[in-house]
Amino acid sequence: MSELAAFPSLVIRAQGFVPSGAFAEAQAAYLDPDPAEVAELRRLLAAHEAGIVAHYYMDPELQGVLSACAWPHIHISDSLVMADRAVKMVEAGARRIVVLGVDFMSENVRAMLDAAGHAAVPVWRVAERPIGCSLAEAAESPSYAAYLERAAQTPRSLHVVYINTSLRTKAQAHARVPTITCTSSNVVQTVLQAFAQIPDATVWFGPDTYMGENLHSLFAHLGELDDAAIRRVHPAHDRARLARLRARFHHFEQGSCVVHHMFGASVVETVKRSYADCFVTAHLEVPGEMFALALAAAARDGGVVGSTSNILDFIGRKVDQRAASGGGGRLRFVLGTEAGMITAIARRVQATLRAAAEQTAADGLEVEIVFPVAAEAVVATGERELPVVPGVAGGEGCSPAGGCATCPYMKMNSLEALFDVLGRLDRPATLALFAPRVYRELVAGRSAAELGSEPILHMRAFQREGVLPAALVRDVVERHAPG
């Protein structure tokens, strides 16, 4: 590719797509799915009264068919919403739930259905083998256990654990240190609220190292603002309190997502050099260089740092604003997260572009999504069905020179596997290996599933009420108190 087109990209128009580069062509190939596959999916779901919750990081073939299927019990989102929507589907009549994601997601769906009184509703994955996650595995390591032991020996400790972890991890952590889960959407408010309610708390975040580092940087950035600006982020804080909390905020230093790990210095230098006119989006899990670039852009409303939902909302808002103004031209966005987001982005953007075209507004408006993918990070296979694969050798690793931008674990969910599971829903005995992992062991005298669900329920309560639950605060204050 030329210097002016260092990364592959996909141009979204009201009608159709224009990919540039093999990686973008692979992403675009399934945005207009086969109508026969869409019809078959709807038939199977209706026949079995089944619902599907899927993560944004599914491969484009699977997402394309899902997003085109007119069945009420299909939802694609980030991990925060998946379990909630599964509960709502069951309450609306779905009798079975299929989870498209990594294993901690199906575990969370199972746990939340149980907590909502729907233990009889079966939950299925679409792979016989475990569907792993590098972050979840980091939290099960001896080094994470040692990290939690430090927390347990520190009075007034609160463990804020990323939801991308197993129920066993959550249970074992909560047995040692009072624990609340978080997502990339709510982690900032969770930490700030913890220090607001327990000013002398010590907060231990994990297992995502980059997110932890980025939170430190974000709190430092907030600390440079005046008190009025800080209080707009959280009313209980000012510059003095932010300075104190930073000294008592710790993060685990040995955990990362294999996808977001690749958005490093080389990618950032290329973005600065060749994409200075682009909006910059970045997930909170990216390395510090990409985070700093997006944070600086966000300060002038030229970018966003946050969750997958935050990224989708930002892109949608910018396109809506340009369309409402009647402006044309091309809006360009660097996508600093997993490439699977492109399906949701394309659907959102095309809806706006088509509405604008019908109203003869924003004539010629189009949107370009740039994938920060190094040439070394994808491999051409020569096959028609899968022309490129992530990784230097087509495996799960990618070049440190740039991002593979696609999660190998998420790609264990395929359309073929989904059809296979749906076709066997009336024979559940054949699906024993497809059930979410069941934790039968006891942790601190309680089942791992029950105890592991408690940090999730604490997060749900915080989302509803805006304050940490009284029971959690009491646990932080009383557990391991000196003397």
Query: Looking at residue 388, what is its pLDDT?
Result: 43
Is 465 part of any domain?
yes
Could you give the CA distance from residue 30 to residue 61 in angstroms, rounded to a whole number? Answer: 5
Q: Please indicate, yes or no, whether residues 315 and 197 belong to a single structural domain of this protein.
A: no
Q: Which of 134, 130, 175, 185 is nearest to 151 (CA)?
A: 175
Q: In this structure, are 391 and 426 located in the same domain?
A: no
Say if residue 247 is in the same domain as residue 269.
Answer: no
Ranges of H-type helices in 58-208:
60-68, 79-91, 103-115, 134-138, 142-152, 167-176, 187-197
- Ranges of beta strands (E only) in 284-370 are 303-306, 330-336, 366-370
Mean pLDDT computed over every residue of the chain: 84
pLDDT of residue 154: 96
% of the chain exceeding 90 in pLDDT: 48
Whether the Cβ atoms of residue 341 and residue 306 lie closer than 8 Å to each other: no
**220 and 146 in a common domain:** yes
pLDDT interval class at 80 (50, 70, 90)? confident
Residue 418 lies in a domain: yes
Residue 329 CA: distances (Å) to CA of 234, 302, 332, 344: 38, 17, 10, 22
pLDDT for 193-227, tens place per residue? 999 999 999 999 989 888 888 899 889 989 999 99
- One domain, residues 400 and 302: yes
The predicted model gives 228-248 an average pLDDT of 94
Element (H, E) at 348: helix 342-358
- Which value, to the nearest 10 degrees, does the dihedral of the CA atoms of residues 106, 111, 115, 117 take? 60
| Residue pLDDT, tens place only, 403-432 | 345 566 676 788 899 999 999 999 999 999
The Cα–Cα gap between 458 and 456 comes to 5
CA distance 108 to 26: 31
Task: Dump pLDDT digits (tens) for 128-176.
Answer: 888 867 677 788 889 999 999 999 999 999 999 988 888 889 999 999 9
Q: Within the chain, what is the greatest distance between any pair of CA atoms?
A: 73
Position 483 in a domain:
no
Question: What would the two tokens of residue 122 be?
Answer: 């079966």
Residues 248 and 270 in one domain: no
397 has a pLDDT exceeding 60: no
Measured CA to CA, the distance from residue 296 to residue 305 in angstroms comes to: 10
Q: Which of 364, 343, 340, 369 is nearest to 353 (CA)?
A: 364
Range of the domain at 115: 35-132+414-434
Are 227 and 343 found together in one domain? Answer: no
Q: Which of 229, 247, 248, 249 has the alpha carbon at shortest distance from 239?
A: 229
**Rounded to an integer, what is the distance from CA 172 to the centroid of its chain?**
23
Query: Same domain for 391 and 447?
Result: no
Among 94-98, 150-154, 404-408, 459-463, where is mean pLDDT lowest? 404-408
Quote the pLDDT of residue 433: 92
Residues 288 and 397 reside in one and the same domain: yes
**Domain shared by 387 and 399, yes or no:** yes
List the structure tokens of 433: 């290996």
Give the tens place of pLDDT for each residue, 262-298: 566 677 888 888 899 999 998 877 766 778 888 889 9
Give one word for 55, left, alpha or beta, with left for phi > 0 and alpha for psi -120 to 50. beta
Does pLDDT of 351 surpass 80?
yes
Does the reported pTM lie above 0.85? Answer: no
Q: Is 439 helix (H, G, I), strand (E, B) or coil?
A: coil
Q: How many domains does the chain have?
A: 3
Are 329 and 263 contained in the same domain? yes
Give pLDDT tens digits for 435-458. Answer: 998 777 889 999 888 899 899 999
